[in-house]
Structure 1
């Protein structure tokens, strides 16, 4: 029986953008398509449904009603938010709460179309899917049962893409997929070129699975073997440097394919007895075994800044630690509360009980502390924060193991041999892109810098109002520099690096994504990755003048512990093209409810262009939220 919502629950303080997003995509709708629950009811629905799982565990120190209130405050204070499917589906008949899944694609017609069917079921329930196509025999291989020849992974990738086109995730957005092919697959050149035609495979992020052996061959300039996954025999050779150059060229042209370091990922595989990890979720931050799913959640770091004795801002470590521990309990309960679309997934998820606690609002926290993103101090703070979250998260998982028992696969995992204490969860930390979650929380996305400090809003009477990032606006007030003229200039520029009238101290701290060198983006990703069980979703922004050599240099920095990487060159990626077309139409469009960037009413369908694997834009119904 569902818990009744207590009277006088606090109302969350949300931005207008957050209210719009919740109304369009998260609040339950009636037959007329209008919301039939309030924001308070949504958060209570989620809090109570997740808290009710606590009754299964007799050793818990919590009573269900008290825990439901704690979960409600955790979310409505905006200190932590779970992934979108949990907000959408907890306490509903659908009840599917996981964000991301990985499905195997075997080398037979039956296995391939089973994967297509399973993916459709997952997309319908609100999840995203990752696939490795590396098991499929290469094009023109002989098919013994028919005497014909195989069409290869690319042809089947097209089938998955078409199927996805017809299914919306939970009825709210088109399905998202990750497709991975090993660098030593005989069809790798076709895969690298797969997105040469604009609009091709538009429902997939593509990544090449790199190996240490391949990267060694690149460095030595020698050939490497292509291996048939069906026979295990060599099917020829390619020059590693030439293949790497092609990979760089295509990434420079369109942002695809990305790269995934398979050996690096599997070194951190906590359950190698269950097999190798072949794929990740669509955004790349969650490596998973076949049929695994992961429940994600993010801490809003911007809210853990307090004034110290000197009056300067400092991190509230005590509050952060308490929030981490409650969030880990929340996410472990989500595993039990979720209804999974397949029995195979239910079994695998509860065998390993992986969760992914991450962060958002990091750029806002840096602003508040006066620390530049692209600085050694910024890197050190990022690493210290994630090390603290990892330590506190693992302690919380150890405590849950005492209450509830370790994850069932613990005896066969890597932890006993290390002398580690039993854990409730095989993994605890992941850093997701938090596209819409950061809008709800009113903060910056993931560990990304802001895309712009200021923007212009058109109001109904044609007046143009300038909106500034609130922390930047406060800094201008403190320095006595705020003026309508300056605000307009910042709005036109998007950033302040060219405004020499502003003090160097301000310009140094308030940097945006395109102000930051690509190597700093990658170093920040590595700083967080060193203390993250799974992986870190991070965009490496490159200016329009970025060269292929720039991308090559980044991709060769694999030793920095990064598990995957996507690069976005301004003007060369579909999202940037979309933003450019929007910018040209500004004079004729109404801009409403701004957050960090323009929020523009557009004549587009619900998910014409939705992307959560980048902090640049999120499209919801007829509104484009440009971060």
Structure 2
């Protein structure tokens, strides 16, 4: 795997805050995120690790003439005070030869074996390179022709989305067994695909497709048909022809039964996502990252972090709104710098191009219940709902 030249980390400045952690939290940090030498011995303290992250992300400020050292100190204090935490790959990748700071990507799949840049096996190759760095992937298999349909170029029959889902699953299982951090995966199929019932039931056996979560991409038309108890057309994606017409509630009931039995499939509301798509001129949203936090376009990645609300309490057990505003502003700057600082996967330049085209970031929250407890709001009450809306 290609590695980048790493700028040496400046020594941590004197007088920087130490992070307050209980023994368990410090043990987890030491086990998962601290850099180690060839013998497995730690080569940095927790505070040095935080400085490594803050400094190497702040190096992105050089592109627009920012004061790297000053910004790095601000980033360090934001993290060391536990007001904000970035995703795990930023802790493990910043300032390292790998330099891959993104947890997950969405990759396109076209109805082609590999001639196209998003062909089935070209995308599998791309995904394998991402998996090798510990990253996960989301895929929509909806463009693949249904099982048994004619393939004119070979006069054969199509394998179908579920068959290729099994191929991907097997490949990712072998990569994980090779010693890399296991990357999660999400497989999506539109509800109007002719193979939707096979997809919904493809994980009935517990030992089947173990490296994927699966979700059905649901449309407004389908949900209306369920509500009205009417028929619903299953459409061949490569021709637009109606292959079969079924009762919408039959598909819906199958989804519900399977979700009750083993927790899958999940549901993605595609039309809802695309109504709020900030970049409709670039792409239609078809898939999310494996955990479902964020719909992403082709080759885009999750650049995620969380504000710790519990660290934003002021005098009198009240929310320190000014501090919260400052944390959100600085955390947004941090994540935007991650977009620039990330090395992505050098063999896949389209990852960097997609990230820098849209500069997608995701800033979430944690510690909401802790915040409510400290300010005297009962979690789950009507007051709590109003309070949560105010925070967001």
Tell me, yes or no, whether TM beats 0.5: yes
2:197 maps to 1:193: no
2:54 maps to 1:50: no
What CA distance in whole angstroms lies between the structure 2 residues aligned with 1:44 and 1:166? Answer: 35
What CA distance in whole angstroms lies between the structure 2 residues aligned with 1:202 and 1:8? Answer: 48
- Given the alignment, which residue of 298, 322, 342 partners 1:318? 322
CA deviation digits over 1:275-328, x for unaligned, max 9? Answer: 2011000010110011111311100011112233xxxx2211000000111111
- Cα pair 1:54 1:333 within 8 Å, conserved: yes
- Given the alignment, which residue of 188, 195, 207 partners 2:215? 207
2:236 maps to 1:232: no
Paired position in structure 2 for 1:220: 228
Q: Which runs of 5+ in 2 are unaligned?
A: 1-6
What CA distance in whole angstroms lies between the structure 2 residues aligned with 1:250 and 1:335? Answer: 38
- Cα pair 2:187 2:212 within 8 Å, conserved: yes
What CA distance in whole angstroms lies between the structure 1 residues aligned with 2:335 and 2:228? Answer: 45
Give the 3 Å change call, closer, same or farther, for CA 284–242 of structure 1 in structure 2: same
Paired position in structure 2 for 1:339: 343
Matching of residues 90-169 of structure 1 within 5 Å:
90-110=94-114, 111-168=119-176
Paired position in structure 1 for 2:73: 69
What CA distance in whole angstroms lies between the structure 1 residues aligned with 2:178 and 2:36? Answer: 13
Paired position in structure 2 for 1:29: 36
What CA distance in whole angstroms lies between the structure 2 residues aligned with 1:190 and 1:99? Answer: 29
2:353 maps to 1:382: no
CA deviation digits over 1:219-266, x for unaligned, max 9? Answer: 110110001111111111111011111111111111100100000000
Structure 1 counterpart SS, 2:79: helix
Structure 2 counterpart SS, 1:131: strand
2:266 maps to 1:258: yes
Matching of residues 273-312 of structure 1 within 5 Å:
273-308=281-316
What CA distance in whole angstroms lies between the structure 2 residues aligned with 1:51 and 1:227? Answer: 49
How many angstroms does 1:166 deviate by?
2.4
- Cα pair 1:182 1:208 within 8 Å, conserved: yes
CA deviation digits over 1:406-428, x for unaligned, max 9? Answer: xxxxxxxxxxxxxxxxxxxxxxx
Structure 2 counterpart SS, 1:129: strand
2:272 maps to 1:268: no
What CA distance in whole angstroms lies between the structure 2 residues aligned with 1:4 and 1:318? Answer: 31
What CA distance in whole angstroms lies between the structure 2 residues aligned with 1:24 and 1:4? Answer: 22
- Given the alignment, which residue of 10, 14, 19 partners 2:26? 19
What CA distance in whole angstroms lies between the structure 2 residues aligned with 1:238 and 1:356? Answer: 38
Structure 2 counterpart SS, 1:244: helix
How many angstroms does 1:133 deviate by?
0.5
What CA distance in whole angstroms lies between the structure 2 residues aligned with 1:368 and 1:171? Answer: 43
Structure 2 counterpart SS, 1:81: strand
What CA distance in whole angstroms lies between the structure 2 residues aligned with 1:17 and 1:344? Answer: 40
Structure 2 counterpart SS, 1:34: coil
How many angstroms does 1:170 deviate by?
11
What CA distance in whole angstroms lies between the structure 2 residues aligned with 1:169 and 1:183? Answer: 33
- Cα pair 1:133 1:181 within 8 Å, conserved: yes
Structure 2 counterpart SS, 1:50: helix
Structure 2 counterpart SS, 1:139: coil
Structure 2 counterpart SS, 1:88: helix
Paired position in structure 2 for 1:10: 17
- Cα pair 2:289 2:302 within 8 Å, conserved: no
Paired position in structure 2 for 1:602: none
- Cα pair 1:167 1:175 within 8 Å, conserved: no
Paired position in structure 2 for 1:574: none
Paired position in structure 2 for 1:87: 91
CA deviation digits over 1:122-152, x for unaligned, max 9? Answer: 1222322100000010000111111110111
What CA distance in whole angstroms lies between the structure 2 residues aligned with 1:169 and 1:44? Answer: 33
How many angstroms does 1:162 deviate by?
1.3
What CA distance in whole angstroms lies between the structure 2 residues aligned with 1:318 and 1:8? Answer: 25
What CA distance in whole angstroms lies between the structure 2 residues aligned with 1:233 and 1:48? Answer: 55
How many angstroms does 1:99 deviate by?
2.0
Paired position in structure 1 for 2:4: none
Structure 2 counterpart SS, 1:209: strand
**Count of residues in Structure 1 that have an aligned counterpart in Structure 2:** 379
- Cα pair 1:98 1:294 within 8 Å, conserved: yes
Give the 3 Å change call, closer, same or farther, for CA 255–240 of structure 1 in structure 2: same
How many angstroms does 1:159 deviate by?
1.2
Paired position in structure 1 for 2:188: 180
What CA distance in whole angstroms lies between the structure 1 residues aligned with 2:36 and 2:166? Answer: 34
What CA distance in whole angstroms lies between the structure 1 residues aligned with 2:23 and 2:180? Answer: 20
What CA distance in whole angstroms lies between the structure 1 residues aligned with 2:93 and 2:359? Answer: 19
Structure 1 counterpart SS, 2:125: helix
Structure 2 counterpart SS, 1:274: coil
What CA distance in whole angstroms lies between the structure 2 residues aligned with 1:148 and 1:301? Answer: 57
- Cα pair 1:221 1:241 within 8 Å, conserved: yes
How many angstroms does 1:167 deviate by?
2.5
What CA distance in whole angstroms lies between the structure 1 residues aligned with 2:176 and 2:77? Answer: 31
Q: What's the RMSD between the two structures over aligned residues?
A: 1.5
- Cα pair 1:223 1:240 within 8 Å, conserved: yes
How many angstroms does 1:112 deviate by?
0.7
- The two structures have a TM-score, normalised by structure 2, of 0.94
2:356 maps to 1:357: no
How many angstroms does 1:172 deviate by?
5.8
